[in-house]
Amino acid sequence: MSRSAPRPPYPVAVAKVSQKRADALPVERRVGKFVARAESKEAFASFEEELQRQARAALTNPDRLLTIPHLRNSIAARMEDVEPATSDLIDGYILHWIGEGQLARLNTISRAMSAYQSIFWGTLGSVVSGAIATVLQALVEQQSLTLEEAARLLPNSLLFKLQHVEVLFGHLIYLGFASTDVAPGVPIESIRVPYASPRF
């Protein structure tokens, strides 16, 4: 019975390993803010291929919207023997894939009312865009909208977590199309148009 060849060792961030170890790795490449080194070009290619596979698993089936730190941790948890010097490179690949369009990001507002980016698989873009348009249209027509009301309007692919609807609410708040009367730190259970009366 044939056995598959062992995978090449993962690349590492030069700043996170000893100089002796870095000097022993001949192939260098910049990954995000880090200079990375590996045993070969194939090691970089194999590593990125594995990251992509795990990123897809983390973001699809069911579809998820995650922050970059959450996505990085999910990818690392799905891989074997990932040391900190390697996991630090994952952010750089995520940003690279966003630039290529393989991943997409949505500016939104957290429960603490601070801005952040939610990441999703690129092919979900039309679903997310359509959901935003649907929620905005309902908001304009009704003047206010609750999470439960919005959830009834959205495709099942976005309803794995009700928190995904919160992400869409946060996006509309970020753009100035909506406001909320909930206190910072609690779930964004409802939104209203900025000029509408508060909904308590």
Query: pLDDT, tens digit, for every residue of 171-188?
Result: 999 999 999 998 899 999
Residue ranges and CATH numbers for the domains of the chain are 12-100 (no CATH), 108-192 (1.10.10)
What are the counts of helices (DSSP H) followed by strands (DSSP E) for the chain? 8, 7
Cis peptide, bond prior to residue 9, ω within 30 of zero: no
pLDDT higher than 50, residue 32: yes
Q: Which two tokens stand for residue 77?
A: 């948890």
Query: pLDDT, tens digit, for every residue of 113-170?
Result: 999 999 999 999 999 999 999 999 999 999 999 999 999 999 988 888 889 999 999 9
